[in-house]
Chains A and B, each alone.
Chain A
Amino acid sequence: DTAVSQTPKYLVTQMGNDKSIKCEQNLGHDTMYWYKQDSKKFLKIMFSYNNKELIINETVPNRFSPKSPDKAHLNLHINSLELGDSAVYFCASSPRRGSYGYTFGSGTRLTVV
């Protein structure tokens, strides 16, 4: 029973398309995150939600829009995909904001062609 599950695991799509990555956690955590790991392996936070409320919104293009329908879900929608969006996207959750008990999903490898 996966604690943090994200789908799909792999996503190959053409430039200009719109795609979504879904994330769900069954840990009862209050806070969820999206991280991007780029080609340089740098794991950088994109967004953080606490109880459905956006608390961290790093400098990412407006084409990226997170949606949290409830505190167990944090989806990432990306409009007009570009080649530079190719990366591995990790969802994570923690009991509360600032808590170090992160649980990560297994990642979604997005390839834009």
Chain B
Amino acid sequence: DQQVKQNSPSLSVQEGRISILNCDYTNSMFDYFLWYKKYPAEGPTFLISISSIKDKNEDGRFTVFLNKSAKHLSLHIVPSQPGDSAVYFCAARFGNQFYFGTGTSLTVIP
């Protein structure tokens, strides 16, 4: 069963605009959420995280929002840059284990 879902496999955005990547989860016991970024032929790299006790965390151009009642997580990138083109995975932690979504491929068009 897939406890973390990213329903949009791909997203295209113009450079300078906002990119919004979404993630839904089913387990209300998840206590930590993360976003990873993956370039082709590389492993995922950690991007930003948020604790379940918060609803927003910002780091430069990246902001993660958490809506616990909706069991929804989103990553906002603004302004989007061509170098942001990658696959983005959301992940959620329960106990010692992380559960990953299937990824959303973001293309930022110059």
Contacts and interface: CB of A to CB of B under 8 A. Distances in A.
Interface of A: 4, 9, 35, 40-45, 48, 55-56, 90, 92, 97-98, 100-107
Interface of B: 2, 9, 32, 34, 36, 41-46, 49, 87, 89, 93, 95-98, 100-103
A104 B38 CA distance: 10
Contact of B95 (A35, A92, A98, A105): A98
B46 A100 contact: yes
A97 B96 contact: yes
A48 B103 contact: no
Given A43-B103, A98-B96, 10 more contacts: A41-B102, A43-B89, A43-B101, A43-B102, A45-B98, A100-B93, A102-B44, A104-B36, A104-B45, A105-B43
Nearest to A109: B41
Contacts of B49: 100
Contacts of A90: 43-44
A42 B93 contact: no
A43 B2 CA distance: 10
